[in-house]
Amino acid sequence: MKYELLAWPPDGPKLRLDHERFSYAGKFVMTNTGKAVARTADGRLVAAVAFNADRTDEDTLWLRYVTVDRERRGEGIGPRLCRLVRDRAVDRGYDRLRIAVNNPFAYEALYRTGFTYTGETTGIAELILEYPTPNSDTDVDADWTERERYQAGLEEYRARDLSADEEAFLESQRDSEPPETGNE
């Protein structure tokens, strides 16, 4: 697998993704977001991330959309690609990265990348995660332990109308510690 950062915002390329294989496919044709991709050895695109700077804080980068080919989900491709963007953004001078996630699988994947729940949600009920771990200036509850922070996010999802797979996943994580942060 080849992981590649294609461009920084606002000079991102258009990516035309197959809407049957990728969620959010239409969001990747915008050219004002940076893009990173994962490709197989034969060049087939299997994942993409779109990102841009925060409109009010130039030291913060937002991961806007993360998508993995439906046939390749669960293989760790998304977290590895997000880790690439995270590391390059830090090298580029961003102090903080944020992402809003709308399901427990994305929540878990971003936790594996070192993002943690801030205690905040967006107006459309996405949970906001941040890297590095939020500090008292940005954190809703700075007194949380790592486990309490992780479980608080999962609890937000438990209160929603979920698929059977999501419910089973959340039950399997009840009272668990946050996942290990992979560095592969």
The residue count of the chain comes to: 184
Distance in angstroms (rounded) separating the CA atoms of residues 101 and 65: 9
- Per domain, the residue ranges of the chain are 1-94, 99-177
pTM: 0.90
- At residue 125, the pLDDT reads 83
- At residue 73, the pLDDT reads 94
Among the four given CATH numbers 3.20.20.80, 3.40.630.30, 3.40.190.10, 1.10.1040.10, the one describing domain 1-94: 3.40.630.30
- At residue 99, the pLDDT reads 97
- At residue 80, the pLDDT reads 96
- At residue 123, the pLDDT reads 78
Distance in angstroms (rounded) separating the CA atoms of residues 44 and 108: 25
Collect the ranges in the chain with pLDDT lower than 70: 134-142, 183-184
- At residue 135, the pLDDT reads 63
- At residue 143, the pLDDT reads 77
